[in-house]
């Protein structure tokens, strides 16, 4: 029987990773804080795009997560970040990659959204950010001394009350990676995709494996005819060919949610109109969803 789901929905994640027991509470609290920011916007009638950006900005400010503040160093000791945002209504896409010393990469992706290029990298991305008045910062402001080398990404998807979908990602990179390395997060069809005709999805994990397996494209194509949970599980199963750890969240145009991971943990938050905000660290905690 078809589920009767109406109203807005927001789903976010704080990364596919192994979570130290000492950090479980911070992961849950960080997801709930970001959910609260995005849900407040959707409750007030904001667009899915606005809600996704607002939720990711909270995750970027929280050093628990490897995005914005809490990013990691590449092999040159520098922080380079990737982020993207996609509008499911128009298929507009904005992304930045290997960008340095900006406070909120997702907001620069937002500024890129209506521009012709879909992706700017490195100095080109930062000079665009500066020219558009985005918040710049010192590289040291992004590094948190007590942060252990992390391996994860943050992401968010939303369906607003007008039926529009959006997807966003942000990552602080991989510890010790090659300077200039770009992961899956800003690449459409790899780390994210959103299309009002089908659904929205974002991924976290080993960027090279996610890109080589084209996971976001597979999930959105799967949602054209099937459900988000089955589509997501099939995508994660594809990693048996490339190896690698990942987790993904998906949302279809009817508001149905799917999420799966092959990592030890996956910090996920879910908010739905009329419901409470919920945070999970493993899919098994959320057996009632699908």
* Residue positions annotated with a catalytic role: 153
Query: Is-contact 240 215, C-beta < 8 A?
Result: no
Is residue 153 a contact residue for ligand GLY (CB under 6 A)?
Answer: yes
Is residue 172 a contact residue for ligand GLY (CB under 6 A)?
Answer: no
* Residue 15 vs 63, nearer CB to ligand GLY: 15
Query: Is-contact 51 41, C-beta < 8 A?
Result: yes
Is residue 63 a contact residue for ligand GLY (CB under 6 A)?
Answer: no
Is residue 221 a contact residue for ligand GLY (CB under 6 A)?
Answer: no
Is residue 184 a contact residue for ligand GLY (CB under 6 A)?
Answer: yes
Is residue 207 a contact residue for ligand GLY (CB under 6 A)?
Answer: yes
Is residue 71 a contact residue for ligand GLY (CB under 6 A)?
Answer: no
- CA gap 240, 263 in Å, rounded: 13
Q: What is the DSSP string of 34-49?
A: HHHHHHHHHHTT--HH
Minimum distance of ligand GLY from residue 207's CB (angstroms): 2
Nearest to 139, CA basis, from 64, 183, 73: 73
Is residue 183 a contact residue for ligand GLY (CB under 6 A)?
Answer: yes
Q: Give, as one character, the DSSP assignment of residue 137.
A: -
Minimum distance of ligand GLY from residue 174's CB (angstroms): 6
Is residue 70 a contact residue for ligand GLY (CB under 6 A)?
Answer: no
- CA gap 5, 14 in Å, rounded: 25
Taking CB under 6 A as the binding criterion, the range among 38-46, 73-81, 199-207, 282-290 that sits at the site for ligand GLY is 199-207
Taking CB under 6 A as the binding criterion, the range among 125-133, 138-146, 166-174, 264-272 that sits at the site for ligand GLY is 166-174
Is residue 155 a contact residue for ligand GLY (CB under 6 A)?
Answer: no
**List of residues 6+ apart from 124 with CB closer than 8 A:** none
* Residue 147 vs 204, nearer CB to ligand GLY: 204
φ/ψ (deg, to 5) at 276: -90, 165
First and final C-alpha spacing in the chain = 13
Q: Which residue has the tokens 């939303």?
A: 158
Q: What are the residues binding ligand GLY (CB under 6 A)?
A: 153, 171, 173-174, 183-185, 204-205, 207
């Amino acid at each position: 029987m078809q589920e009767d789901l109406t109203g807005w929905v927001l789903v976010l994640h704080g990364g596919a990773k192994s979570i130290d027991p000492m950090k479980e509470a911070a992961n849950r609290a960080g997801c709930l804080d970001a959910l609260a920011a995005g849900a407040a916007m959707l409750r007030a009638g904001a667009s899915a795009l606005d809600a996704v950006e607002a939720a990711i900005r909270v995750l970027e400010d929280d050093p628990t997560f490897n995005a914005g503040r809490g990013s990691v160093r590449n092999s040159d000791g520098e922080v380079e970040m990737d982020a993207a945002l996609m509008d499911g209504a128009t298929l507009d896409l904005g992304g930045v990659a290997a960008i340095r010393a900006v406070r909120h990469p997702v907001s620069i992706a937002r500024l890129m959204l209506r521009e012709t290029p879909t992706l700017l990298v490195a100095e080109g991305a930062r000079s665009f950010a500066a020219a558009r008045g985005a918040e710049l910062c010192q590289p040291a402001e992004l590094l948190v001394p007590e942060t252990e080398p992390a391996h994860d990404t943050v992401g968010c998807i939303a369906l607003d009350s007008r039926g529009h979908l959006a997807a966003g990602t942000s990552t602080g990179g991989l510890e010790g990676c090659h300077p200039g390395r770009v992961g899956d997060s800003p690449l459409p069809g790899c780390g994210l995709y959103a299309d009002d005709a089908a659904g929205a999805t974002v991924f976290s994990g080993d960027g090279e494996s996610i890109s080589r397996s084209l996971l976001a494209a597979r999930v959105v194509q799967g949602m054209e005819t099937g459900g988000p949970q089955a589509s997501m599980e099939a995508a994660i199963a594809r990693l048996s060919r490339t190896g690698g750890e990942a987790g993904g969240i998906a949302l279809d145009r009817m508001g149905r949610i799917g999420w799966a991971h092959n990592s030890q943990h996956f910090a996920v938050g879910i908010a739905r109109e009329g419901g409470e905000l919920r945070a999970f660290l493993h899919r098994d905690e959320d057996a009632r969803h699908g």
